[in-house]
Structure 1
Amino acid sequence: MTDQINQSGEPTANTERVFIFDTTLRDGEQSPGASMTLEEKLEVAELLDTMGVDIIEAGFPIASDGDFEAVSEVARVVKRASVAGLARSAAKDIDRCAEAVRKAVHPRIHTFISTSPLHMKYKLQKTADEVLDMITASVTRARNHVADVEWSAEDGTRTEIDFLCRCVELAIKAGATTINIPDTVGYTVPEEYQALFETVRARVPNSDKAIFSVHCHNDLGLAVANSLAGVKGGARQIECTINGLGERAGNAALEEMVMALRVRGDRLPYRTGIESSMLTRASKLVSAVSSFPVQYNKAIVGRNAFAHESGIHQDGMLKHAQTYEIMTPESVGVAKTSLVMGKHSGRHAFKEKLKELGYELGENALEDSFTRFKDLADRKKLIYDEDLITLVDDEIVHAHERIKLLALTVMAGTGGPQSAALTIEVDGEKMTHQATGNGPVDAIFNAVQALVPHHATLELYQVHAVTEGTDAQAEVSVRLAEEGKSVTARGADPDTLVASARAYIAALNKLMVKRGKNRPEIMAG
Structure 2
Amino acid sequence: MSRKIIIFDTTLRDGEQALQVSLNSREKLKIALSLEKLGVDIIEVGFPVSSPGDFNSVEKISNVIKESRICSLARCIKKDIDIAAQAMSNAKNFRIHIFLGTSNLHIYSKLRKNFSEIIEMAVSSIKYTLRYTNDIEFSCEDAGRTSPDNLCKIIEKVIQAGATTVNIPDTVGYTLPTEFSKIISDIRLRVPNIHKSVISVHCHDDLGLAVGNSISAIQAGAGQVEGTINGIGERAGNTALEEVILAIKTRKKILNVYTGIKHKELYNTSKTVSKLCNIMVPSNKAIVGSNAFSHSSGIHQDGILKNRKNYEIMNPETIGLKIVQFNLTSRSGRAAIKNRMQEMGYSESDYNIEKLYMDFIKLADIKGKVYDYDLEALAFIKLEKFMKLKKYFKLKNLNINFNTLGLSTVSIQLIAGKKLHTKKTKSFNGPLYTIYKTFKQLINFNISLKKFKLITKIKENKTITQVKTVVKYNNRFFNGISVNKNIIKASAKSLINILNDIWISKQIRIKFNKI
TM-score interval for Structure 1 and Structure 2 normalised by the shorter chain: 0.7 to 0.9
In 1: Cα distance, 2:91 partner to 2:211 partner:
29
CA shift for structure 1 position 324: 0.3
1:81 aligns with 2:68: yes
Distance 1:476 1:272, change over 3 A: closer
Report which of the two structures shows the higher radius of gyration computed on alpha carbons.
Answer: 1
Confirm or deny that 1:469 pairs with 2:481.
yes
Q: 1:462–1:367: structure 2 CA closer, same or farther, 3 Å change rule?
A: farther
Q: Which residue of 1 aligns with 2:352?
A: 365
Q: Deviation digits for residues 21-51 of structure 1, max 9, x if unmatched? A: 0000000001131521111111111111111
Distance 1:280 1:188 in 2: 30
- Distance (Å, rounded) in 1 between the aligned partners of 2:89 and 2:178: 39
Matched residue, 2:184? 197
1:329 aligns with 2:341: no
From 255, 262, 265, the equivalent of 2:249 is 262
- Relative distance call for 1:393 and 1:125 in structure 2 (3 A) is same
Residue aligned with 1:469, SS: strand
Corresponding residue number in structure 2 for 1:210: 197
Structure 2 gap ranges (5+): 398-414, 419-441, 446-470, 472-477, 484-493
2:29 counterpart of 1:17: no
The equivalent of 2:48 in structure 1 is 61
Corresponding residue of 1:148: 135
Return the alpha-carbon distance in structure 2 between the equivalents of residues 362 and 234 of structure 1: 60
Structure 2 residue 233 is matched with structure 1 residue 241: no
Q: One-letter code of the match for 1:197?
A: I
Distance 1:238 1:370, change over 3 A: same
Give the whole-Å Cα distance in 1 for the aligned partners of 2:84 and 2:197.
Answer: 21
Query: Unaligned regions of 5+ residues in structure 1, if any?
Result: 1-12, 415-438, 443-460, 478-488, 493-502, 511-525
C-alpha distance in 1 between matches for 2:92 and 2:220 = 31
CA distance in 2, matches of 1:384, 1:121: 60
Partner of residue 338, structure 1: 325
Whether the aligned pair in 1 keeps the contact of 2:351 and 2:379 (CA below 8 Å) is no
Aligned mates of 2:141, 2:267 — CA distance in 1: 31
CA distance in 2, matches of 1:109, 1:268: 29
Aligned twin of 1:278: 265
- Quick one: distance in 1 between partners of 2:261 and 2:21? 24
1:463–1:476 CA contact under 8 A, matched in 2: no
1:302 counterpart SS class: coil
> Residue deviations 1:199-231, cap 9 Å, x none?
112111111110000100000000000001111
- Please tell me whether the aligned partners of residues 52 and 275 of structure 1 are also in contact (alpha carbons under 8 angstroms): yes
Structure 2 counterpart of 1:186: 173
| Inter-partner Cα distance in structure 2 for 1:233 and 1:358 | 53
Q: Check conservation: 1:463, 1:475, Cα contact below 8 A.
A: no
Shift of 1:440: 13
Note if 1:157 corresponds to 2:153.
no
CA contact (8 A) 1:462 1:476 kept: no
Q: By how many angstroms is 1:101 displaced?
A: 1.5
**Could you tell me how far apart the structure 2 residues matched to 1:334 and 1:220 are?**
30
8 Å CA contact retained: 2:293, 2:324: yes
CA separation of 1:380/1:122 partners in 2, compared to 1, >3 Å: closer, same or farther? same
Structure 1 length-normalised TM: 0.75
The equivalent of 2:122 in structure 1 is 135
**Shift in Å at residue 475 of structure 1?**
6.4
1:142, CA displacement in angstroms?
1.0
TM superposition shift of 1:382: 2.4
Deviation string for 1:362-409 (max 9, x for gaps)? 39622112211111111112222222233334359989xxxx99xx9x
Question: For residues 396 and 363 of structure 1, do their structure 2 counterparts lie closer, same or farther at Cα, with a shift above 3 Å needed?
Answer: farther
Aligned pair partner of 1:377 in 364, 369, 375: 364
Is the alpha carbon distance of 1:476 and 1:176 closer, same or farther for their aligned partners in structure 2, counting shifts above 3 Å?
Answer: closer
Find 1:125's aligned residue among 98, 112, 118.
112
How far residue 19 of structure 1 moved from its aligned partner, in angstroms, is 0.3
Contact preservation (8 Å) 2:155, 2:166? yes
Query: Residues 217-263 of structure 1: CA distance to partner in whole angstroms, max 9, x if unpaired?
Result: 00000000000111111110000110001110000111000000000
Equivalent AA in structure 1 for residue 26 of structure 2: E
Equivalent residues of 2:19, 2:277 under 8 A apart:
no
Secondary structure of the structure 2 residue equivalent to 1:266: helix
Q: Identify if the C-alpha distance between structure 1 residues 137 and 476 changes in structure 2 by more than 3 Å, giving closer, same or farther.
A: closer
| 8 Å CA contact 2:359, 2:383 repeated in 1 | no
Give me the whole-angstrom Cα distance separating, in 2, the residues matched to 1:178 and 1:86. 14
SS of the residue corresponding to residue 50 of structure 1 reads helix
Q: Deviations over 1:443-493 (max 9, x none)?
A: xxxxxxxxxxxxxxxxxx98999631128757659xxxxxxxxxxx9758x
Partner in structure 1 of residue 307 of structure 2: 320
TM-score, scaled to structure 2: 0.77
Deviations 1:323-358 (A, max 9, x none): 000010100111113211111110000010011011
Q: Decide whether the 8 Å contact of 1:386 with 1:467 is kept in 2.
A: no
Q: Separation in 2 of the partners of 1:328 and 1:320? A: 12
CA distance in 2, matches of 1:390, 1:476: 12
Instruction: Tell me the percent identity.
Output: 43
The number of residues matched between the two structures is 422
- Specify the SS of the correspondent of 1:338: coil
**Whole-Å Cα distance in 2 between the matches of residues 186 and 343 of structure 1?**
40
- Name which structure has the greater RCO, CA cutoff 8 Å, separation 6+: 1
Are the structure 2 counterparts of residues 34 and 296 from structure 1 closer, same or farther at C-alpha, using a change threshold of 3 Å?
A: farther
Change in Cα spacing, 1:474 to 1:391, as seen in structure 2 (3 Å) is farther
- The residue aligned with 1:423 is none
Give distance in 1, aligned partners of 2:79 and 2:504: 72
1:36 aligns with 2:23: yes
Question: Residue 297 of structure 2 corresponds to which residue in structure 1?
Answer: 310
Report the AA paired with residue 56 of structure 2.
E
Change (3 A) 1:396 1:22: same
Pairing 1:168–2:180 present = no
Matches within 5 A, 1:347-366: 347-362=334-349, 365-366=352-353
Counterparts of 1:286 and 1:254, CA distance in 2 = 12
RMSD: 3.1
Kindly indicate whether the alpha-carbon contact (under 8 Å) linking 1:387 and 1:467 is maintained by their aligned counterparts in 2. Answer: no
Q: Report if the CA contact (8 A) 2:164-2:197 is conserved.
A: yes
Q: Which residue in 2 is equivalent to 1:297?
A: 284
